[in-house]
Chains A and B, each alone.
Chain A
Amino acid sequence: MLKIENLTKTYPGGKIGVADLSLEVKAGEIYGFIGHNGAGKTTTIKAVVGLHDFEKGNITIDGISVTADPLRAKSITAYIPDNPELYDNLSGMQFINFVADVFKVPKNVRKERVEKYAQDLEIASVLNNQVSSYSHGMKQKLAIIAAFLHEPKLLVMDEPFVGLDPKAAFTVKNMMREFCDKGSAIFFSTHVLEVAEKLCDKIAIIKDGRLIASGTMEEVKGNASLEEVFLEITEEAK
């Protein structure tokens, strides 16, 4: 579903964001992406969703190149940033309608999905309120609803659990699992290793812009805990 080949991104000033990174996320998989702060997770994610350009490499989503045909690639992708800055002066419902229009979600389908997700994430009562009155967690929930709304083939999430209350985090995890069981794929970054360990089918560890480990959970961690393996691998790579 998502194929990243030899991705290289250098920032102005020569700082390497990502160097020669390759990985593949298959349909039905939840793929976790972990690493220290500044390791290159967000850079990779932003390159996948079209927010960053890159010098070398190729990224395809369901066989569609994000550089050659960005609109088609975006039409089957959804992105949830780590700090969702939304249009503060609009209501949650206005924002959802905007996203649904862009993804051409029919009226009855959007109604059904919004009601369900809003109920599950306990945000239904505030959907008509202005986004500026939302807490960080509520904005995150709204961004999640907007992302799930059109049932994308690939969902890209940057630290999706930051700011969510425990119940919402649990709900989102269930939504992610159900979503992938239907044949879609999720590529997400996280610092919460326990979540990655329980939720992910595959995992990749990045350090200083380079991939230092990837594979199924068993392949990467064996019998040890993910936390132990992560600390060991990242120390070795110094």
Chain B
Amino acid sequence: MRTLLILLRTNFLELVGSFRKKGKTSVVVAAVSLILVGLFLIGMFGIIGASTAFILVEKELGEFAIYVSIGMGFIIALMFGVTNSTRDAKGADTDMLLAMPIPKSHIVISKLLGMYLLDVLCSLVLLLPSLLIVVLAGGESSMILVRGILFALLIPAIPLFISLIVSALITFLKRVTKFGSIFSTLVSLAVMLLYMFIVPNVTSYAESLEVSPSEALDIMKKIPPLYWITEAIYSGDLISVLLTLAMTLIPLALAVYIHARSLTGIQMHVDNSKKARVYRSSSVRKAAFKMEFSRYFSSANYVMNTIFGVAFLVILSGIFVVKGIDGLSFLREFTINGEHVLETLPSTAWVCIFTIFINAFGSITTTTPPSVSIEGKRIWISKTLPIATRDILNAKILVSVMIFAPFAILCSIGLGIRCGCSILDILLLIVLTCVYQLLASLVGMIFGLVFAKLDWKNEAQVIKSGFGVTITMVVNMVLGFITAALAVIALVLKDHGMIPYGILLGELVLIAGLCVGAYAIITHYGVRKYESLNG
């Protein structure tokens, strides 16, 4: 027990320490920061849970309110759990702990407890307001509250179990195939998108929901495990209670078992010795590009933090292409001089709108800002090999453009055809969006070089919170506004013959000019800066 307490205390101190910024911040300030972050999350999720529950209780859908809260808590816990497990299947300190006189069970419990407590917190923060509103405002039995709190302690076992399964699967796939990292990225992305589409929109869903209690019951029954948990809390139905206990306790036991096995390093051995070794040759520039490309896709963290723009662009464009303006309700509210004009817009106007739309996503899809810092201590490789520094930087820029441009082209074509744009208009749209993406990538490269930080311990430090990343987003946003302003002017002048085209061509010239300037900075200052870096 003593060692377990020591481990728990150490885990807590490590968590507080992560807020201390290289020890410059005092422990008290770090602890206060931690509490504030916790309160912010509790407040944010709590408000969503409470407002949703209130709307549903007003519509006499108390049971459905509990069902929605459980679902949301489940998704949030899954998002935290899966994101965590895709990052680090086995903690960096595990070997050290296993070498110490600490019972293995204590290590397992201390590791799982951290994840479990976070999930319990998510579950309680969402469920508790719903339960209180159902009991107090809905006039239901107070036993719902008691049962709800008890089950809130068990429900997190399910997302915890799923996260550990995902983690084990990723570890296995990384050993047997080279697609492990891609799988890890896709899983994280899927869970993240699930969260982003459901949690922020759940209140408006509740508002628009017009169903009777019996119809709500039919909706709930579509996901039986969630329905059983809801029934166990709401009515205390014995079968539902037993099913809920089975659904939570069995995964909890399995979670402990899986984690214990992964800790002792009992790994699925894979013999790669008979796998044919592939010898492919490329030119130096192509090799540099291939290396950058492989390194980008081999880091789930890197991909996760830069791929959202592409994902949203593809999803929203897809909806628009399939459903037209009706698919995106906010577009129907788009007015110029108080007129709803989208249905009758000329081709040029669509080019203006789609330029703003695609460039907005392009601004957040640049991979260049952390591309220098991410080299870290490995920078000796590129610096000692006979590759021109300019080629190394070009490869980084090209990767950034190549990740977004194909999707920008596809979406431009799809959207253009859907809105009846001419081939020339579609070509103009493609060029405008691709050149803008090049500019965003060049800006990212400049700031990535200026604020290069090679002495990181965890790549997330430079991918997520690097100063270069932040300032690039700000600058790209400003550039986005400028280009959007030009597109809006062209849109307003849509009925003035060739003038809109003139403005769009002017915009193209402006972006191209900025690209030339930015590239000149990179090839002069940037090359010198890169050569002066030491890992």
Contacts and interface: CB of A to CB of B under 8 A. Distances in A.
Interface of A: 49-53, 71-72, 74-75, 77, 79, 81, 85-87, 89-91, 93-94, 97-107, 110-111, 114-115, 124-130, 133
A78 B377 CA distance: 18
Contact of B386 (A51, A75, A90, A100): A75
A20 B380 CA distance: 25
13 contacts: A53-B531, A72-B386, A87-B291, A87-B294, A94-B294, A97-B287, A101-B282, A107-B281, A111-B277, A114-B279, A125-B273, A126-B273, A129-B175
A72 B387 CA distance: 10
A203 to B, nearest CB: 24
A89 B181 contact: yes
Contact of A85 (B175, B278, B282, B378): B378
Contacts of B174: 130
A75 B378 CA distance: 19
A74 B384 CA distance: 6
Interface of B: 174-175, 178, 181, 271-273, 275, 277-284, 286-288, 290-291, 294-295, 298-299, 376-378, 380-381, 383-388, 531-532, 534-535
Contacts of B283: 101
A133 B298 CA distance: 14
B280 A107 contact: yes
A72 B295 CA distance: 26
Q: What are the 7 tightest A-B residue pairs by CB atom distance, in nearest-first order?
A: A101-B287, A89-B298, A125-B273, A75-B386, A74-B386, A128-B272, A85-B377
Given A85-B377, A89-B295, A101-B282, A49 B273 contact: no
B288 A102 contact: yes
Given A89-B298, A90-B298, A97 B378 contact: no
B380 A93 contact: no
Contacts of A97: 278-281, 287
B281 A93 contact: no
B279 A110 contact: yes
Contacts, number: 101
A96 to B, nearest CB: 9
Nearest to B377: A85
A85 B380 contact: yes
Contact of A90 (B294, B376, B385, B534): B294
A50 B295 contact: no
Contact of A87 (B286, B295, B532): B295
Contacts of B294: 87, 90, 94
Which one of B279, B282, B287, B532 has the greatest number of beta carbons of chain A within 10 Å?
Answer: B279
A133 B282 CA distance: 26
B285 to A, nearest CB: 10
Contacts of A53: 531-532
Contacts of A94: 294
Contacts of A103: 385-386
Contacts of B387: 71, 102
Contacts of A115: 277
A100 B277 CA distance: 14
A79 B380 CA distance: 9
A128 B280 contact: no
Which one of B281, B288, B378 has the greatest number of beta carbons of chain A within 10 Å?
Answer: B281
B277 to A, nearest CB: 5
Nearest to A143: B381
A53 B528 CA distance: 12
A94 B388 CA distance: 21
Contacts of A111: 277, 279
A129 B180 CA distance: 12
Contacts of B377: 85
Given A74-B385, A74-B386, A87 B279 contact: no
A129 to B, nearest CB: 5
Given A85-B535, A89-B181, A107-B280, A128 B286 contact: no
